[in-house]
DNA sequence: AAGTCTGTTAGGAT
DNA sequence: TATCCTAACAGACT
């Protein structure tokens, strides 16, 4: 699940569960710590109050008093959940417990997630937040800015959209959906996009992010679709089904090792750059 | 039921 | 430098 909408949802959950609370206990068993961090650093957060919960791209950053921080990446299968007394929590790799007894689990079956604690300044450096591109939801680039980021790049546009140093937050699903919405073939060379196409792409990115975010509802809303439910997506994972726009049979191809669904009619590969 | 697929990213090869 | 590929891991699906 964890692309921008999922991480933003997780952020809102954390805010609801932890904001202004005191962290009484933190434990990390099998979670991989970020290089340069340690369990001792995690434990030094105990007794501190949570001041805010921010997100940049797919990273979560929890700020504590004393300029300390906890950084979290959900990796490919990570999720945050509130412990309820009923069923046991599977794949819990780390636990955060407030003085009031609220217990938050970091569940991560595949263990691609990351956790780190330390001074906020040091974390920002270690995480390479300065290496990340602008957050695609909070600070979307203008067509001109994105256009120049794509110019002179030979890689497939989809591959670049998922490059976190260009734009922070998009993953395979959101990039697939946005390109379909913007009617751009995923394998197009990034440099071949015209300015009007870049403009359409930015609008399409907002469209898919807003749509996915909305489908997840607000934290605690049990009527919303469970995160990652396929129903929201128009083309992702739907190769062989028909295009919702033109009824053409959707196809899929591999780009940068990732499966990329597209509509062969709406998303033409051979539009060449107009000079 | 063995084989294939999977939402990420770091790091090494080309 | 830019791009491409694979490993890290464990489960779901066909």
**What is the CA A75 to chain-centroid distance, rounded?**
9
- Nearest CA to the C1' of B9 belongs to which residue? A75
**What's the pLDDT at A30?**
67
Give the nucleotide nearest to A169 (CA→C1'): B8
Rounded CA gap, A47 and A24, in Å?
5
Left if phi > 0, otherwise alpha if psi is -120 to 50, otherwise beta: which for A138? alpha
| CB atoms near residue A183 (< 10 Å) | 18
What tens digit of pLDDT does each residue of A85-144 get?
A: 766 788 888 999 999 999 999 998 888 898 999 999 888 888 888 889 999 999 999 999
Element (H, E) at A267: none
Please say whether the beta carbons of A37 and A114 come within 8 A: no
Kindly list the catalytic residues of A: 2-3, 58, 258
What tens digit of pLDDT does each residue of A209-248 get?
A: 999 999 888 776 655 665 556 778 999 989 889 999 999 9
Give the nucleotide nearest to A189 (CA→C1'): C3
Long-range contact pairs involving A263-266 (C-beta distance under 8 Å, separation at least 24): A263/A180, A263/A235, A266/A180, A266/A183
Does residue A75 lie within 7 Å of nucleic acid chain B, judged by its CB? yes
Distance A71 CA to B10 C1' (A): 17
Strand B footprint nucleotides (protein C-beta < 7 Å): 5-11
Does residue A32 lie within 7 Å of nucleic acid chain C, judged by its CB? no
Rounded to two decimals, the pTM is: 0.93
Distance A86 CA to C10 C1' (A): 24
Does residue A165 lie within 7 Å of nucleic acid chain B, judged by its CB? no
Rounded CA gap, A41 and A120, in Å?
12
Distance A266 CA to B8 C1' (A): 29
Which candidate, A246, A223, A220, places its Cα nearest to that of A235?
Answer: A246
Strand C footprint nucleotides (protein C-beta < 7 Å): 2-11
Please say whether the beta carbons of A69 and A62 come within 8 A: yes
């Amino acid at each position: 699940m964890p692309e921008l909408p999922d991480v933003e949802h997780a952020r809102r959950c954390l805010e609801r569960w932890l904001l202004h609370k005191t962290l009484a206990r933190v434990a990390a068993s099998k979670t991989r710590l970020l290089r340069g961090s340690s369990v001792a650093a995690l434990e030094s957060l105990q007794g501190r109050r949570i001041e805010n919960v921010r997100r940049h791209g797919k990273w979560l950053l929890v700020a504590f008093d004393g300029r300390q921080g906890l950084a979290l990446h959900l990796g490919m299968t990570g999720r945050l959940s509130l412990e309820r007394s009923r069923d046991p929590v599977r794949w819990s790799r780390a636990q955060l417990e407030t003085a009031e007894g609220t217990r938050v689990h970091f569940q991560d079956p595949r263990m691609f997630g990351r956790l780190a604690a330390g001074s906020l300044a040091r974390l920002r450096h270690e995480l390479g937040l300065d290496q990340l591109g602008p957050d695609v939801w909070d600070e979307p680039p203008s067509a001109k800015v994105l256009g120049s980021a794509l110019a002179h790049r030979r890689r497939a546009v989809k591959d670049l959209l998922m490059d976190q140093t260009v734009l922070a937050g998009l993953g395979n699903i959101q990039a697939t959906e946005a390109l379909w919405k913007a009617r751009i073939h995923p394998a197009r060379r990034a440099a071949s996009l015209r300015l009007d196409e870049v403009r359409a792409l930015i609008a399409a990115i907002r469209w898919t992010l807003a749509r996915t975010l909305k489908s997840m509802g607000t934290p605690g809303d049990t009527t919303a679709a469970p995160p990652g439910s396929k129903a929201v997506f128009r083309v992702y994972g739907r190769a062989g089904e028909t295009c919702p726009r033109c009824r053409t049979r959707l196809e899929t191809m591999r780009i940068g090792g990732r499966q990329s669904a597209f509509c062969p009619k709406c998303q033409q590969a051979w539009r060449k750059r107009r000079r």
